[in-house]
Amino acid sequence: MPLDFRPSPSKHGDRVRPAVHQVTQSAQRRIMLLAGLLVLVLLMMHEAQKAENFHWLWYLQGQPILDGQEAPLDTRMREQVPSGDPDSKFGPLVMGIRADQQPSPAPSPLGLPEPEDPSSGTARLAQAETDAWSGLIRAMDRGMRPRFLSGLKSARDGQLADPPTRQAWPDLVTWLDEGWNHYLQQARQSLDDDEITLTQDERRQWLDILDQMQRQWQKQSLPALKQLAESPPSTTAHQAEIERIQTELDTVFLAEIRDNTVFRAAETDAWFRLLERLAVNDVGRSSQTAAPVVSFGQLFKQPDVYRGSLVTVQGTARRAEFMEAPENIYGITNYFRLWLQPSGSNSPIVIYSLEIPERFPAAAIAEAPGSFLDMDEPVQVTGFFFKRWPYPAQDGTRLAPVVLSRTLSWSPSTTGLADPERLPGWTFWLALFSGTALFGSGVAALVYWFSGRSTPRALRQRLTSAAKQGARS
């Protein structure tokens, strides 16, 4: 009888268990499909955070896409701006410029008033007054300028100036009177310059403008300024004249701002005057509807158009910093700096706000100068556009618009977690546990489905055949 080397089955009916390490093509396809789905989900999550992918929703709602949201802008700073302060854009008096030589005004953006015709008598009078005040302000020494601006601020506040200012005020007003008369004398002499070609009508118009300036100075400006040495403005006419003078100075201050530069000393008065107007006039709360909503691209590409104008920007506050203000005569002590990611752009807008809402997350750092807090809060901000400012980024120096505001328009979350002093309600916990249970059930169902189908059909047939053969033997 020949020898039988096959293993004999045990009395317990042990089965022959084949190796199951081989993976069939159907299992490979399922693994590749799962891996592809995972990559697709990650890709969709990455694209979902880009606001520009949802612009088609605005078309369905009948809303136009704002300028600057269709394509990203290159905000890298490419040109080097000299560190020294350039000369003022004003004067000497531009009497010799004919009407046909005036540069055409830039088109006005939506929501802003149209620029006045530079050849009109009102525009020429305003230009001449601004030229005169620009020369006087720049000629003041370091001690005279702050005393003069401090005296004007005391008058705006309806208060008497401090003793040092009152003591120096008569000499300061005498100096201003001499400087103003000297300016008018030079302006009249310039009309007789042979290099300036003016018609008789144009020359007559300029002489009328100079006469208006002289009458206004002698009858309105000079008396209002002289009174400030003894008391605040006592009449409505004097108060209005002081405010008009300050408006002329504000125009001079705004002209000193330079884009693509750090904050310069020449821009200090423009900076704090805008903040003072925000604080005193409550701009940013009552004027929300008066300021046009603008995009990052509009502010970035047209800084000269929006300079010193009220604008409204919308987006997500990513970081807030609390900062102390430099010493100034305008009563500004501190402010918050927020980095705002505007709607439709990944480039930031820098917000300097005097206040923040009471329950805003950054309120916790209000007493810690130099501290900051990262966040993700949707806000709307109304304020004055200041300049295009360079800031250090990971890939070099980039440029961002700067907006000065009184406060933010922000609504706290309604999930219940936004209020740290109140626990979430029963609806929150019900939704949390229900969602967790549904998620767990879904994961369990998927695991069961894949594990029940993970054994290939051919392998199951082999196992069944081996089991039947073992049973027969």
- Show the 3-state SS of the chain: CCCCCCCCCCCCCCCCCCCCCCCCHHHHHHHHHHHHHHHHHHHHHHHHCCHHHHHHHHHHCCCCCCCCCCCCCCCECCCCCCCCCCCCCCCCCCCCCCHHHCCCCCCCCCCCCCCCCCCCHHHHHHHHHHHHHHHHHHHCCCCHHHHHHHHHHHHHCCCCCCHHHHHHHHHHHHHHHHHHHHHHHHHHHHCCCCCCCCCHHHHHHHHHHHHHHHHHHHHHHHHHHHHCCCCCCCCHHHHHHHHHHHHHHHHHHHHCCCCCCCCCHHHHHHHHHHHHHHHHHCCCCCCHHHCCECCHHHHHHCHHHHECCEEEEEEEEEEEEEEECCCCCCCCCEEEEEEEEECCCCCCEEEEECCCCCCCHHHHHCCCCCCEEEEEEEEEEEEEEEEEEEEEECCEEEEEEEEEECCCECCCCCCCCCCCCCCCCHHHHHHHHHHHHHHHHHHHHHHHHHHHCCCCHHHHHHHHHHHHHHHHC
Q: According to the model, what pLDDT value does residue 133 have? A: 94
- Residue 164 Cα distances to 151, 156, 160, 161, 169, angstroms: 10, 18, 11, 8, 8
Q: According to the model, what pLDDT value does residue 324 have? A: 92
pLDDT tens across 12-68, in order?
Answer: 455 545 444 445 666 666 777 776 667 676 666 666 555 545 444 433 334 444 444
Instruction: Calculate mean pLDDT across residues 210-229.
Output: 94
Place of tokens 């008009």: 244
With 70 as the cut, is the pLDDT of residue 265 above it?
yes
Instruction: Calculate mean pLDDT across residues 361-371.
Output: 75
CA angle (299, 305, 309) in 5-degree steps = 80
pLDDT winner (highest mean) among 87-101, 326-340, 361-375: 326-340
Q: According to the model, what pLDDT value does residue 151 have? A: 95
**Among 36-40, 335-339, 390-394, 411-415, which is the least confidently predicted range?**
411-415
Q: According to the model, what pLDDT value does residue 193 have? A: 77
- pLDDT, the chain, mean: 76
Q: According to the model, what pLDDT value does residue 430 have? A: 64
* Annotated domain spans of the chain: 116-255, 265-405
Alpha-carbon gap, residue 389 to 75, rounded angstroms: 10
Report how far Cα 105 is from the mean position of its chain's Cα atoms: 26
pLDDT band at 415 (very low <50, low <70, confident <90, very high): very low
pLDDT tens across 181-192, in order?
Answer: 999 999 998 888
Q: According to the model, what pLDDT value does residue 325 have? A: 93
Whether residue 278 contacts residue 406, with contact meaning beta carbons closer than 8 Å, is answered with yes
Q: Top-level CATH class of 265-405?
A: mainly beta
Alpha-carbon gap, residue 319 to 35, rounded angstroms: 36
CA angle (383, 389, 393) in 5-degree steps = 120
With 80 as the cut, is the pLDDT of residue 103 above it?
no
Q: According to the model, what pLDDT value does residue 109 have? A: 35
Q: According to the model, what pLDDT value does residue 19 have? A: 47
With 50 as the cut, is the pLDDT of residue 95 above it?
no
Instruction: Calculate mean pLDDT across residues 151-157.
Output: 93
Structural Rg of the chain based on CA atoms: 37
- Give the rounded percent of residues in the chain with a pLDDT score beyond 70: 62
With 70 as the cut, is the pLDDT of residue 11 above it?
no
Alpha-carbon gap, residue 190 to 197, rounded angstroms: 11
Alpha-carbon gap, residue 307 to 325, rounded angstroms: 21
With 90 as the cut, is the pLDDT of residue 153 above it?
yes
pLDDT band at 370 (very low <50, low <70, confident <90, very high): confident
Q: According to the model, what pLDDT value does residue 65 have? A: 42
* Among 121, 129, 119, 155, CA closest to 216: 129
Instruction: Calculate mean pLDDT across residues 453-464.
Output: 58
Predicted structure pTM score:
0.67
Q: Higher confidence at residue 118 or residue 91?
A: 118
Q: According to the model, what pLDDT value does residue 419 have? A: 40
Q: 323: how many CB neighbours lie within 10 A of its CB?
A: 14
Instruction: Calculate mean pLDDT across residues 434-454.
Output: 57
pLDDT tens across 341-356, in order?
Answer: 998 888 999 999 999 9
Place of tokens 């394509």: 71
